[in-house]
């Protein structure tokens, strides 16, 4: 194996974190901001890009790898955690919002997994975190994820996170699954991903579900999330007070009654 072979445990239900067990000198690479806690003797080092083997080809290779991360909206840098102890040590990483953490064994998926841009959490050193360009115009313009998704390659373990409840579907050859574009977490390399117009004037104008959905055609494995972070953020923004005033509900009789029942007497 080129990637470091790491052990792990996932804790929690709605707000999960993953505990990575490192043997002496083993390394795990993580996104900035995902660190939770670690044992004494584990060292942190900020690195350019993902630190994979293909990135060790001089300055140009490192710049190219880091530049790919910028295209996916991520930082130029990642953090590598190495166990300097004589025995096993643990380091933990937490999901940034309520949902599930998914352990991806890339060897079981043919060495490649495609996921949405902001879902990657951490991986064994040696796993390449790159970009996947869409070659289809419709998918690029209306797919919710644009032309660019993240591509995880290698033979080690990687961890991605989803929002809400997670659904895993195993698609047979030719089997099609239709999904809201924002609800896709990731899929294996053999799954064909495209965008389909919902159709119908009433559906388009008044359906409230947008004009397009994603079609995923097997064979392969697909992970779907029930609550994309973008949907959660939209609901929070819509309910937030405008211009320092009260929220929508607080301006009504029902909203005031709800505040009274909740013990909030500001109305």
> How far, in Å, CA of 251 to CA of 243, rounded?
14
Residue ranges in the chain assigned as alpha helix (H): 58-71, 137-142, 201-206, 229-239, 253-261
198, 212 contact by CB (below 8 A): yes
Least trusted range by pLDDT, from 8-17, 131-140, 236-245: 131-140
pLDDT in tens, 154-207: 999 999 999 999 999 999 999 999 988 788 899 999 999 887 776 555 545 544
User: Does residue 266 contact residue 259 with C-beta atoms inside 8 Å?
Assistant: yes
Q: Taking Cα atoms as reference points, which of 74, 102, 211, 113 lies closest to residue 163?
A: 102
Average pLDDT, the chain: 78
Q: What is the pLDDT of residue 31?
A: 86
Higher-pLDDT residue of 141, 167:
167
How far is residue 263's CA from residue 35's CA, in Å, rounded to a whole number? Answer: 37
Q: Does the structure show a pLDDT above 80 at 125? A: yes
pLDDT in tens, 35-66: 999 999 999 998 877 666 554 555 555 555 55
157 C-beta neighbours (distance < 10 Å), count:
23
Of the candidates 38, 56, 35, 34, the one whose C-alpha atom is nearest the C-alpha of residue 47 is: 56
**Structural element, H or E, at residue 122:** strand 120-124
Confirm if 104 and 157 have CB atoms less than 8 A apart.
Answer: yes
Residue 261 has pLDDT above 50, yes or no: no
**What is the DSSP pairing of strand 184-188 with strand 157-163?**
unpaired
**Domains parsed from the chain with CATH numbers:** 7-236 (3.60.160.10)
What single DSSP character describes residue 172? P
């Amino acid at each position: 194996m080129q990637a470091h072979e790491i052990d792990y445990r996932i804790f929690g239900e709605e707000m999960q974190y993953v505990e990575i067990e490192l043997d002496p000198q083993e390394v795990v690479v993580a996104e900035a901001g995902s660190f939770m806690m670690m044992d004494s003797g584990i060292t942190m080092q900020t690195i350019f890009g993902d630190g994979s083997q293909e990135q060790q080809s001089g300055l140009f290779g490192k710049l190219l790898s880091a530049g790919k991360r910028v295209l996916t909206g991520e930082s130029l840098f990642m953090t590598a955690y190495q166990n300097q102890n004589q025995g096993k040590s643990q380091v933990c990483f937490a999901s940034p919002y309520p949902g599930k953490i998914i352990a991806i064994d890339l060897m079981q998926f043919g060495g490649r997994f495609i996921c949405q841009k902001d879902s990657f959490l951490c991986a064994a050193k040696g796993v390449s975190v790159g970009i996947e360009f869409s070659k289809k115009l419709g998918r690029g313009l209306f797919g919710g994820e644009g032309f660019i998704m993240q591509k995880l390659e290698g033979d080690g373990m990687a961890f991605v996170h989803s929002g809400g409840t997670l659904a895993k579907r195993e698609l047979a050859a030719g089997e099609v699954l239709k999904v809201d574009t924002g609800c896709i977490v990731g899929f294996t390399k053999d799954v064909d991903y495209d965008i389909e117009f919902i159709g119908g004037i009433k559906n388009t104008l008044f359906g409230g579900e947008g004009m397009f959905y994603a079609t995923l055609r097997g064979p392969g494995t697909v992970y779907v999330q029930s609550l994309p972070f973008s949907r959660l953020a939209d609901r929070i923004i819509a309910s937030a007070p405008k211009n320092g005033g009260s929220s929508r509900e607080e301006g009504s009789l029902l909203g005031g009654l709800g505040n009274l029942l909740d013990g909030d007497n500001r109305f």
